[in-house]
Structures are given as C-alpha cells and as structure tokens.
Amino acid sequence: MGTATAEKRQSVRSTDHATPDGRRRTLILSASMGAGHDTVAAELARRAVARGERAEMVDVLRLLPHGLGTGLRRGYQASVRHLPWVYAGIYGAFLREGRGPRPSGVPLARLAGDRLTDLVDRLRADVVVSVFHLAAQLTGHLRARGALRVPSAVFLLDFAVHRQWLHPGNDRYLCLTDTAAAQVRRALGAPVVTTGPVVAPAFRAPAPGAARWRERFAARAPGRPPVLLSAGAWGAASRPAATARLLAGAGWLPVVLCGRNERLYARMSREPAALALGWVDDMPGLLVAGHALVDNAAGQTAVQALAAGLPVVAHRPLPGHGAEGVRRMADLGLCALAPDGPTLLKALDGLGENTPERAARVARGHALFRGDALESLRDL
C-alpha cells in the first residue's frame, strides 16, 4: 500500500463519515457458520456499546446475492458433519498454504461488494471489523480498489492462520497469539497486534452457576469427575459415543455438548453412561464445574475454557482448520494432543486437582488474554 493511498483513505474517512452525534460507529462482519464467529462479533459489539459507541453486526453471508450465502453455509455444515473428507479436500485446495497459484476467495467475496459499501454509507460507519475470512477477503478487496472508504480491520479468531484470512488491502490485523501475528506479518507486511481472544467477561469471573452444575453431576454419577466433550454449535464430532464409553469405562462422567444438533442429542441421550446436553446458556458455570474439556476444533468453546481455567485436551479433531488449530494450541502448551484412547485417558489422569501440570496449563491459558481488541482499533 503506497503512502499516497493511505493518506487519501484517512482524509476521506475523517471528512465523509463524521457521525452527527459524534459517536464512533463500528460495523462488524460476522458469519453464521456455527456460533463462534457470531459469539465474537456480539462481544465486540457489546464492548463498543459499553463505551458509548455504536455497533452493528451483519452476517456477510446475507450480503451475497441469489442465496449463495445460505448454500455456502449448508454445504459447509453438511461436509463437516457427514463428509469430513470432502471438507479436508476443500481446506487443502482453498485455505492451506501451498506453492504455485492457489484459488482465491475474492471472486466470491466481491459479489457482496456493492451491498457492503451501501451498508457502510447508510450506517455512516467509521471502521469495519471482519471476524470471518470471507469478510476479510471482501474488505481487503474493496479497500485495495478504493471502494471502501473507511478503515478495515480483521480479528483473526483462529489459532491456525489459513490463507483466506489474508488480504493486503486490510488496514490492520488482530491476532490471538504472537505466532499467528508473526505469520500475518510475514505474509502481508500489514500492521498486526496480538490481543488474545475475545470472550465475554463472565468467562473470566467467578461463576455462580458452577455449584448447580456440580450438584447435577454428582446426582447423575457420584464420584465420577465430569469431562466435557465439545461438538460445537452444529454438533459435529467423530465417534462421540465411542469416546463417551471409553471415558465412562475409566471412571469419568462424559458430558457431551451436542449444541443445536437434535439428532446427536437424541443419540447420546440413549448412552446410559453419558450425560447429553443440548444448547447450554450457562457456559461459564459449566466450564468451571468440569474437570477438563475434550475439544475437536480449537474454536470458541476451547477459548472459553482457557478463560475459565479449564484445561483442554484435543481428541479426534475436525479435518482442516480443526486439526491445524489444535496443533497450534499444543505447540503453545495450551492443550494436550490425544490421538487415541490411551493417550486421552493418560492426559486426563495427568490433570488432577492441585497438580503442577494443571496449574501450568491454567496459567498459560490465562496468559493468552492480553488486551482489548477494540482498544487496538481506536486510532483507525
């Protein structure tokens, strides 16, 4: 990006988008792919409003014409749930780094360009923040062309940085870790800030609901420590019943988080040794009451567990971003990798209360939370 272009962008933003009430306005581009992106977007919006600013959340998939966004979401959901090898192929072709020409997300993203620029003008936004990779491609493309006249920032909420997050047109990137920030810096040379994850304050505060969860667990299986099995909002998991039986046979209470997947909930409810849960509203209390989280995606449930002080063990990760994400977490000491049943049980056994291993894991998880992502955008 040349200096003249940067100066032009700054002057246009400061004159054309001054809001009548003087309150800064942030437009947050999310995506209804599971619940993680929307969860982060909602927390960023809450923080903006708490500061007396204005914030709007928009699903970037809804900006795509002809129902393309709905088709994209349904296709991704079906592949992750039922055809993981298909998603692995898509990830390898479109998202993972590789030599030679690689497919870009820009052709699809730019179909939403006119709708986004119209929305920015109508809302008189001061800054656009993307929390989904397709949105990052869209804003980067528009900024590079000069069609988006306010700064665009990207909150890169994955531990593993894949190439569709990256576009040189964006003004700033916010990353979870220094490792991710360094990768973005090498790829783009763009300004990057390590902020750590974004979670609601309740995950880092005392959880009054934990007592009720402990009572429920004790009534269901006295003396069996609860181990939470995360399947995400869509209930995408590999062989959850087999994992639950393995844990139960070793003396644990498997608590299967089925999200909004009613079929998975019905199936797991028939497992006599498991406690199946649908959508959970009190996640802070549940996480504090657990012994550990068995995770398969390195997504928002894992991040929330780290904030709540619950150790994470990665087992049977989803292909693509899930597998790469848990490897990055393990490299940073934020989770243990358990590729099979015996290593899963060994990892859980090593996380006893008041043990050095548990204390070290909790400390590393808490240290991940550096600062306020919105504060890192105030000078844009």
Give the model confidence (pLDDT) of 218-275 as tens digits: 999 999 999 999 998 888 888 999 999 999 999 999 999 999 999 999 999 999 999 9
Residue 380 domain flag: no
Band of the pLDDT at 15, cuts 50, 70, 90?
A: very low
Q: How far is CA 29 from CA 66, 121, 159, 222, in A?
A: 19, 15, 19, 45
Domain region containing 190: 3-194
Cα atoms in the Cβ-side hemisphere of radius 13 Å centred on 69: 19
My answer on whether 183 and 248 are in the same domain is no
CATH code: domain of residue 60: 3.40.50
My answer on whether 46 and 106 are in the same domain is yes
CATH code: domain of residue 268: 3.40.50.2000
Q: What is the reported pTM?
A: 0.89
- Choose the final residue of a domain: 139, 168, 194: 194
Q: What is the per-residue pLDDT across 81-90, written as a single tens digit (0 to 9) for each?
A: 766 667 667 6
My answer on whether 276 and 358 are in the same domain is yes
pLDDT at res. 12: 38
N- to C-terminal Cα separation, the chain: 16
Specify the DSSP class assigned to residue 93: I
Q: What is the per-residue pLDDT across 208-228, written as a single tens digit (0 to 9) for each?
A: 999 999 999 999 999 999 999
Quote the CA–CA distance of 351 and 307 in Å, as a whole number: 17
My answer on whether 355 and 223 are in the same domain is yes
Residue scoring higher pLDDT (119 or 10): 119
How many independent structural domains does the chain possess? 2
CB 369 within 8 A of CB 307: yes
pLDDT at res. 83: 67
Average pLDDT of the segment spanning 334-340:
97
Residue scoring higher pLDDT (376 or 79): 376
My answer on whether 209 and 189 are in the same domain is no
Quote the CA–CA distance of 213 and 277 in Å, as a whole number: 12
My answer on whether 176 and 227 are in the same domain is no
